[in-house]
Amino acid sequence: MNAAPDGSVIQREAPRADLLAFEIKDRITKPDIEWMSSIADEAMKIHDKIDMLLIMSNYEGSDLGARFDGYASTVMARSVAHIRNYVVVGAPLFARAMITLSGTVMPVETKTFDLADEAAAWAYLAEAGPATARS
């Protein structure tokens, strides 16, 4: 596992290169969102399509600088064309609603799971197979 500079985000090991898995463990800081964005940015340069799994084990919000970071916002905007499945485990209710809504208006499959159902999220992505196999 790789940890972001301030430790609010860690990169979890994934069974395939086109699946990024991150665990949110605290309040997200600007250095940490930039670290996470750089990993996603690099993956999108290597793979046309990727899947992303976020596990919010102890999400406590994000610093103002993290919410309005220019680099992270640019990567997020570009990700719409590159992310096939966006799966979130343990999202707060307000975030679940936003994730579900965004899935109806963007060309990204979105799915949420309760924190207790993390294994089901991994199984869902395993069943989906490599992101680069379909577009």
Task: Please give the DSSP secondary-structure letter assigned to residue 69.
Answer: -
pTM of the entire predicted model: 0.88
Q: Which of 15, 54, 57, 58 is nearest to 37 (CA)?
A: 54
Helix axes 70-79, 30-46, angle to 10 degrees: 30
Instruction: Give 8-39 pLDDT, tens digit per residue.
Output: 999 999 999 999 999 999 999 999 999 999 99
Containing 89, the helix (H) or strand (E) segment is: strand 83-89
The pLDDT of residue 133: 52
Q: Are 66 and 32 in contact (CB under 8 A)?
A: yes
Instruction: Give 74-117 pLDDT, tens digit per residue.
Output: 888 888 889 999 999 998 887 777 777 776 677 888 999 999 99
